[in-house]
């Protein structure tokens, strides 16, 4: 591909219009969206995406876990350059998380069509199933199955937080496919909003993502004994609620003591019987630990285990632990990372390198293929929130970087 020839630019208005159109599916009052994986609204979102792919003349494949792949043919049949992300959201999600990467991929292909550009290698746009993990655990389930990291039958048997079975939901919404998506991948790129404040705070256009930090999700089920809140003395209490509160406090103290990039979150906590005048008999809580350094992540896991055991004994409750997800830190392909940085510079955009604090499908694809990510700023660093917003100019900047690296990796004929 000659660098002396004028390269095309994406149509930002067209990209924004498509993001807004998808955002109307599962729209929430006051803004934002709710498209939980394999629910009715996410099914409508899938229908929207597949229709757009077919309108663009792409070859569409849905695999057995519901991942959607739309491929623009190249002169060769393989390997493919893959541009991907997801369209499922959390319950109070925004328009950009995940959807940007998929719809920007479609915009890249539309731009190539507009310019009449052929590529040596095919380009595939992928939308992976259940990236968020908001309804089914683990998160990034579809991409994990795609790369062979999770057995298909085990994934299909996964039970949702609402009791539904994943395989049955795929059948119900019509996305239990039978074909296999492409695994011979020349390069994988994922454009995503940062979901944090760094790029906006430093007035940087493009985040060049070097890798994704490790993630450890644990569910704790604490069993105590219900009792009268007014008549039961402390020495006779087996208070599951108090034990849960103490564990949550210990998580906060532990991550501050470790410092650096370590973070920890108690994201879900339910009490039973959940009455104002009854000592809680049962508590179920989750702990999310993350760090880009595997050794320090293991240190935080060990500290959590020690705290849970100690507090359980002191409060005379039993605690069962269940691992919901565990992913080691991932470093992206250094050649592709350099390409993203170079593409930003060639477009006159400022950039900086950083690690992702959130999990992404790219970290799964990195198990079988070279992978990299492109970040664009999030206003206020807000994400997983109906106020999530990225400015159109930033969306266009990220999509143009995506276009440039896709052109290079697919050996575009300009």
**Residues flagged as binding site for Zn(2+):** 86, 97, 132, 192, 384
Interaxial angle between packed helices 12-23 and 99-115, expressed in degrees from 0 to 180 and rounded to the nearest 10 = 140
Burial class (CB in 10 A: 0-12, 13-18, 19+), 359: buried
Q: Which two tokens stand for residue 375?
A: 């970040």
Buried b (16+ CB within 10 A) or exposed e, 47-57: ebbbebbeeee
Decide if 312 contacts 243 (C-beta within 8 A).
Answer: yes
Q: How far apart are CA 337 and CA 362, in angstroms?
A: 12
Three-class SS state of 98: coil
Nearest-Å Rg of the Cα atoms of the chain is 23
Q: How far apart are CA 304 and CA 357, in angstroms?
A: 20
Of the candidates 14, 354, 382, the residue with the CA atom closest to the CA atom of residue 206: 354
* Residue 219 host element (H or E): strand 214-223
Q: How far apart are CA 357 and CA 414, in angstroms?
A: 37
Q: CB-based contacts of 166: which residues, under 8 Å, 6+ apart?
A: 38, 130, 136, 141, 155, 156, 157, 158, 159, 160
Of the candidates 86, 32, 64, 233, the residue with the CA atom closest to the CA atom of residue 150: 64
In 295-388 the beta strands, taken as DSSP E runs, fall at 318-327, 330-331, 351-356, 371-376
User: Binding-site residues, please?
Assistant: 86, 97, 132, 192, 384
Q: How far apart are CA 65 and CA 130, in angstroms?
A: 10
């Amino acid at each position: 591909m000659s660098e002396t020839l004028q390269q095309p630019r994406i149509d930002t208005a067209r990209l924004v219009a498509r993001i807004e159109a998808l955002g109307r599916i599962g729209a929430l009052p006051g803004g934002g969206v709710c498209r939980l994986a394999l629910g009715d609204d996410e099914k409508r979102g899938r229908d929207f995406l597949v229709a757009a792919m077919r309108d663009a003349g792409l070859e569409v494949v849905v695999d057995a876990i519901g991942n959607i792949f739309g491929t623009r043919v190249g002169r060769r049949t393989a390997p493919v350059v893959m541009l991907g992300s997801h369209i499922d959201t959390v319950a109070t999600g925004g328009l950009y998380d995940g959807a940007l990467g998929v719809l920007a991929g479609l915009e890249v292909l539309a731009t190539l069509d507009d310019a009449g550009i052929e590529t040596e290698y095919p380009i595939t746009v992928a939308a992976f199933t259940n990236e968020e993990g908001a309804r089914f655990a683990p998160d990034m389930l579809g991409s994990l199955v795609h790369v062979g990291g999770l057995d298909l039958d085990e994934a299909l048997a996964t039970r949702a937080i609402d009791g539904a079975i994943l395989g049955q939901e795929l059948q119900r919404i019509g996305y239990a496919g039978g074909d296999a998506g492409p695994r011979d991948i020349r390069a994988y790129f994922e454009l995503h909003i940062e979901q944090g404040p760094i790029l906006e705070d430093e007035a940087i256009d493009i985040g060049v993502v070097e890798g994704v930090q490790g993630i450890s999700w644990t569910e704790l089920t604490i069993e105590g004994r219900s009792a009268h809140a007014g008549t039961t003395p402390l020495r006779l209490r087996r208070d599951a609620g108090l034990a849960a509160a103490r564990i949550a406090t210990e998580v906060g103290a532990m991550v501050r003591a470790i410092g650096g990039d370590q973070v920890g979150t108690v994201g879900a906590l339910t009490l039973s019987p959940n009455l104002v005048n009854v000592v809680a008999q049962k508590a179920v809580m989750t702990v999310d630990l993350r760090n880009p350094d595997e050794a320090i992540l293991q240190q935080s896991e060990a500290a959590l285990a020690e705290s849970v055991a100690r507090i359980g004994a002191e409060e005379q409750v039993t605690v069962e632990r269940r691992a919901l997800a565990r992913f080691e830190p991932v470093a992206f392909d250094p050649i592709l990372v350099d390409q993203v940085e170079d593409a930003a510079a060639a477009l006159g955009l400022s950039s900086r390198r950083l690690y992702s604090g959130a999990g992404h499908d790219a970290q799964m694809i990195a198990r079988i293929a070279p992978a990299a990510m492109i970040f664009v700023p999030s206003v206020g660093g807000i994400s997983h929130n109906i106020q999530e917003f990225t400015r159109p100019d930033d969306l266009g900047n990220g999509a143009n970087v995506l276009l440039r690296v896709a052109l290079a990796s697919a050996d575009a004929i300009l």
